[in-house]
Amino acid sequence: MKTIAEINQKIKDGDVTVLTAKELCDAVRSGKSVSVEDVDVVTTATRGIMSGTLAILSFPVADPGVFSRAEQVFLNGVPANAGPCPNEHLGIIDLVVHGTAERDARYGGGHLFHDLISGAEIEVAVKASGTGDETGKKSGSMTGAEITTTVDIDDIPFARMLTTRSAYRNYNAFINPGDALPTIFSVADFKGNCSEVVFGGCGEINPLEKDAGTIGVGTRILLNGAVGYVIGEGTRSTRERRNLSLFADMHEMDSSCISGFATSAGPDLINSIAVPIPVLDEDVLSRASRLDSEIKLPVVDIRTRKEIGRTNYSQVWRSGSDPLVTFEPLLCIHCSVCNVMCPTGAFTGSEVNDDLCCNCGHCVSVCAGEAFASEMGAVMLRGREIAVTLRHSDRRGAIKLADELKRRIELKAFLLAEPVQGFG
């Protein structure tokens, strides 16, 4: 049996053996034998919609004495919750911004976080009480009890992201037996009569699907490319459907790992998470070696959330297929549908912005010219094959982040952290 301390020493000595979850599963599929002696760390990852995300920001908007308390704050039009500290007369605002906060149907907290992390200038509007005279303002303009200014990430000394629930071990596939309806699980209205399937989860590379008890409070991870930590189990976490609560500094994040995601019921966001699994013994290696075909995917009614069928991830992440969505410009008929309906705003009408694209595949299902293509998979339900029209998870993006975590470990830039408490 190995220890995390021993693995960390191997990292420091440049003698560590790291496999990504994809590399390990590919080896298992090919019939290659992999032992505990052959690998020290397996890097896992997931990328997808994670509603339970918020940012905690603290920064100055005026000189001391200009106002006593911020009553309302908007960042690029997205509402923020001022507090928990009033910072009376200091000119500083403390904010909590939810990833699902909404300026409008196409722009919310997730879009704001992406713009902030990318270095874009953000418009700040503060409705304050107890305002002083105009001579004390820091910048921008103030009319009565309103202060407006602009900031970028470098102007915000404290910017921390926290997930209240993320990286679920078990996700679902959703189906709608009734009439069409708007929902956070679809981009357009979710079609009825069991005519389409949407699903989430990265299957055999998903961190909690690969873990045999090594992840706990204090585990070091990557959250949107920044080094962060597990702070505990997330809300709604159960033994069967465990998820994680995480935090990391937004200054160190990569904007290509996070984006907003517009649904038919309002804006949401995409996060990327990578977690190292230390291969301590055979049990850990056995769990980390599980393939898509061994990982169940319940099919549930979108309205009742009751299970009405069951499949596995090999049906939606087809072995050997590339989860990338491709675009062939010569086939584009310039109908503007994909441009309007792209949930991340990645398609501009002539090209795809790779930093924003999450390979969800919605464009594949709505493009009249068939300019977009991807192997989307299907689900068998009661003898009927139903096509997947939307993926809530980006397996290609997750593979990329698992590769990045492997690279950092091999370069001695990332050490494993011993959990201070397990999850039982």
Assess whether pLDDT exceeds 60 at residue 42.
Answer: yes
What domain range is 123 assigned to?
Answer: 59-97+119-157
Q: How far apart are CA 276 and CA 290, in angstroms?
A: 16
Q: How far apart are CA 6 and CA 398, in angstroms?
A: 27
**394 falls within a domain:** yes
DSSP states along 22-49:
HHHHHHHHTT----GGG-SEEEEEEEEE
Helix (H) or strand (E) holding 207: helix 207-210
**CA-based nearest residue to 258, from 134, 378, 163, 149:** 163
Domain tally for the chain? 2
Is residue 23 located within the same domain as residue 84? no
Contacts of 64 (CB under 8 A, 6+ apart): 89, 90, 91, 136
Would residue 124 count as lying in a domain? yes
| Residue 234 in this model has a pLDDT that exceeds 70 | yes
Give 288-344 as a DSSP string: HT--GGGSEEEEEETTT--EEEEEEGGGTS-TT-----EE-GGG----SHHHHH-TT
Position 360, amino acid:
C
The answer to whether residues 360 and 394 touch, using CB atoms and an 8 Å cutoff, is yes
pLDDT value at residue 84 = 72
Residue 329 lies in a domain: no
Query: What is the model's pTM?
Result: 0.93
- 322: closest CA among 360, 265, 385, 375? 375
Indicate whether 337 belongs to any domain.
Answer: no
Q: Do the domain assignments include residue 104?
A: no
User: What pLDDT does residue 333 have?
Assistant: 87
Instruction: Please tell me whether residues 294 and 213 are part of one structural domain.
Output: yes
Let me know whether 222 and 272 are in one domain.
yes
Whether 386 is covered by a domain: the verdict is yes
First to last CA, the chain: 20
125 shares a domain with 63: yes
Residues 86 and 194 occupy one common structural domain: no
Q: Give the pLDDT band (50/70/90) at residue 69.
A: confident
Residue 141 has pLDDT above 50, yes or no: no
User: pLDDT digit string (tens) for 362-398?
Assistant: 999 888 889 999 999 999 998 899 999 999 999 999 9
CB 296 within 8 A of CB 379: no
Do residues 208 and 278 share a domain?
Answer: yes
Check the CA dihedral 62-148-106-357 and report its sign: negative
pLDDT tens, position by position, 91-140: 999 999 999 999 999 999 999 999 999 999 999 999 988 765 444 444 44
Name the pLDDT band for 336 (thresholds 50, 70, 90): confident
